[in-house]
Structure 1
Amino acid sequence: MDPRGGRTPVSRRWRGERMTHPPFRFGPALLFCPADRPDRYAKAAERADAVILDLEDAVAESAKPAARESLVANPIDPARVVVRLNPASTPHLADDLAALRRTAYRTVMLAKCEGTADLVALEDFEVIALCETARGVLAAPDIASVPIVSALMWGAEDLVASLGGGSSRTADGRYRDVARHARSQVLLSAGAHGVAAIDAVHLDLADGDGLRAEAEDAAALGFAATACVHPGQVEIVRSAYAPGPERLEWAQSLLAEAAVRELDGVFAFRGQMVDAPLLRQAESVVRRAHARGSSEKGTER
């Protein structure tokens, strides 16, 4: 059911078909860049693993038409670009899509996605759905099930605003319980449907230690990426997602042992009992190490 009532609208393209989700190919550090600042496009793409060209919150209402024209007139590598669109509940989305179809960009982030109905107009795109309102968080499982969705992201500040609150964090910088609940809900919804989860931005630019702790926690839990709002946050996030040498050596050795001995049940390794979930964790560690290597090569280009 759509959280706004009635049956969930589903496109004819999706109805009755079993389709796989697009693979999420970005991460771990995604960097927002205002779409009305084309002078920053290439620099942001060089600094991060992907750039999110933002037509929504980073652009004033009066500047949105110019931002769309900048998006069209200043192309960069579409393989490393996500375009954040204005919410489906606003009159801006149609104009965003008209501009987008004049570009080669086909990966979008839909701001304030609140149900599957919001996705029908985006059939031709790969979608990262941003669940950042109370409705969006509650609808996250349904949103994640839509075949064009490759990832879910959550956002703390808009969520708290949608509840009538004024702060997502306590005085010591920790998320309040409702924000922690939303983060978990989005992660679980993404995991249940085999799509990626992206962790929210850390707005305190001076709090590198806090960002590192949150990114390390995100990586340990299974988030695929963390969004950044400043280039200085990118290396902190990359480092946090990269497994340490001891952890990587453990994962590689464990997988090698399992492969050589053709083990697929429970067995002992270095004094620890190993079963299928632990093997999957080792595989995740190795994937994150490979992603770190790919990120460094991409930055060198």
Structure 2
Amino acid sequence: MTEPANPGSGTVRRSSHFVPGANERMLEKSIATDADSLVLDLEDAVTPDNKDSARTTVAGWLADVDFGAKERVVRINPLDTPWCAADVAETMVSPPDAYLVPKVNNAAEVVELDSMIARWELEHGHPPGGVVLLVLGTETPQGLLNIGELARHDRVDALSWGAEDLSAAMGSKANRDATGAYLPVFEYARVMCLVGATAWGKQPLDTVFVDFRDDEGLAAECATSAAMGFTGKITIHPAQIDIVNAAFTPSEAEMADARELLEAFAEAEAAGLMAFAHKGQMVDVPHLTRARKIVATAEAIAARS
């Protein structure tokens, strides 16, 4: 199987920014940011008493608000709650681009949600498969155990993970050590999210950085995340968006190096070579794949602007 130049559909999701459901002021502020995706939250940001009204408000936003080039994502309530089916039914009248699906336990739940969405796509005459899923894969211990299969479904376009919900579910007192590094089980969840996404050619999205006042910590975590292979990160405060975008945007130097390497490969291939010396090191197919991804990512970001 040929590896995709850019995992997932190619939708740019450097920053996927949470907007509390039914908060008009925060929606207006978020639309004015450079976030690639806006996640309209019907789960944690909404109290049980306000679920119905928030859902109706978010459905109205989808129908009436101009989001510009931003991806419109709705975080629905978990499948086993009283609100999930209604979340999908009401927001599918004027559908979002994607649903962010929390607390997924196994691949069967992804299939169940796919069937639910497909029914409403047919009911309202929307294109089949037009609404994709961004799955939160480690918010439950079962989800972490089954993460290798969560991104397999065709409707899944990205896989992310959650340290806060996972630590609560397991009874952990913390998910980071005194230096700010993830404790082993949470670093494992992060790694397995990356592996689980890329195994099926889907986008891997890193989880939130909760201390929105620590710009240096966020920048350092984003640098590590991008080096690992994540393509974006979920944000919870507008001040985080520009830092996250910068970390997941190829620099001019990276772009120049990638294009130079692609030219060198074209010359080498014409000479019958796929492994050769370039700038003092041996390069071969993995380096070509990496260079192609850098160029594809940069071009997708430029096309979105």
Q: Which segments of structure 1 move beyond 4 Å, counting only runs of 4 or more?
A: none
For the residues of structure 2 that align with 1:143 and 1:24, how far apart are their CA atoms?
19
Residue 54 of structure 2 is aligned to residue 67 of structure 1? yes
Q: Unpaired segments of 5 or more residues in structure 1?
A: 1-20
Residue in 2 that maps onto 1:37: 23
Where does structure 2 lack aligned partners over 5 or more consecutive residues? 1-6, 119-130
Report if the CA contact (8 A) 2:265-2:274 is conserved.
Answer: no
User: What is the CA-CA distance between 1:116 and the residue it aligns to?
Assistant: 1.7
Identify which of 70, 73, 90 aligns with 1:99: 90
CA deviations on 1:147-200 (whole Å, 9 max, x unpaired) are 111111101010111111121111221111111000001110111111111100
Counterpart residue number, 1:268: 277
* 1:109 shift after superposition: 0.9
Task: Identify if the C-alpha distance between structure 1 residues 291 and 211 changes in structure 2 by more than 3 Å, giving closer, same or farther.
Answer: farther
The question of 1:285 aligning with 2:294 is answered yes
1:55 pairs with 28, 37, 42, which one?
42
SS of the residue 1:81 aligns to:
strand
Distance change >3 Å, CA 285–CA 271, structure 1 → 2: same
Give the total of aligned pairs: 276
2:246 corresponds to? 239
Deviation at 1:81, TM superposition (A): 0.6
Task: State how far apart, in whole Å, the 2-side matches of 1:92 and 1:237 are.
Answer: 32
Report the CA distance between 1:224 and its aligned residue.
1.7
Correspondence for 1:88: 79
Equivalent positions of 1:130-279 (< 5 A) are: 130-131=136-137, 132-262=139-269, 265-279=274-288
> Could you tell me the percent identity over the aligned residues?
34
Q: Aligned letter for 2:108? A: A
Aligned counterparts of 1:139 and 1:175: Cα–Cα separation in 2: 21
- Note the aligned Cα RMSD (angstroms): 1.9
Decide whether the 8 Å contact of 1:144 with 1:151 is kept in 2: yes
For each residue in 1:246-295, what CA deviation from the matched residue of structure 2 results, as whole angstroms up to 9, or x when unmatched?
33221110111212343561111111111000111112222333344345
Amino acid at match of 2:195: L
| SS of aligned partner of 2:269 | coil
C-alpha separation in 2, matches of 1:105 and 1:247? 34
Matched position secondary structure for 1:170: coil
Whole-Å separation in 1 of the counterparts to 2:294 and 2:212: 28
2:132 aligned with 1:126, yes or no?
yes
Bigger Cα displacement from structure 2, 169-178 vs 50-59: 169-178
Question: TM (normalized to structure 1)?
Answer: 0.86
Amino acid in the other structure paired with 2:221: E
SS at match of 1:146: coil
Counterpart-to-counterpart distance in 1, 2:103 and 2:10:
20
User: How far apart, CA to CA, are the structure 2 residues paired with 1:24 and 1:86?
Assistant: 26
Alignment partners' CA distance in 2, 1:43 and 1:286: 31
Please give the alpha-carbon distance, in whole angstroms, between the structure 1 residues aligned to 2:8 and 2:264. Answer: 32
Amino acid at match of 1:259: A
Is the 1:45–1:80 Cα contact (8 Å) retained in structure 2?
no
TM-score (norm 2): 0.85
CA–CA distance in 2 between the matches of 1:49 and 1:172?
Answer: 30
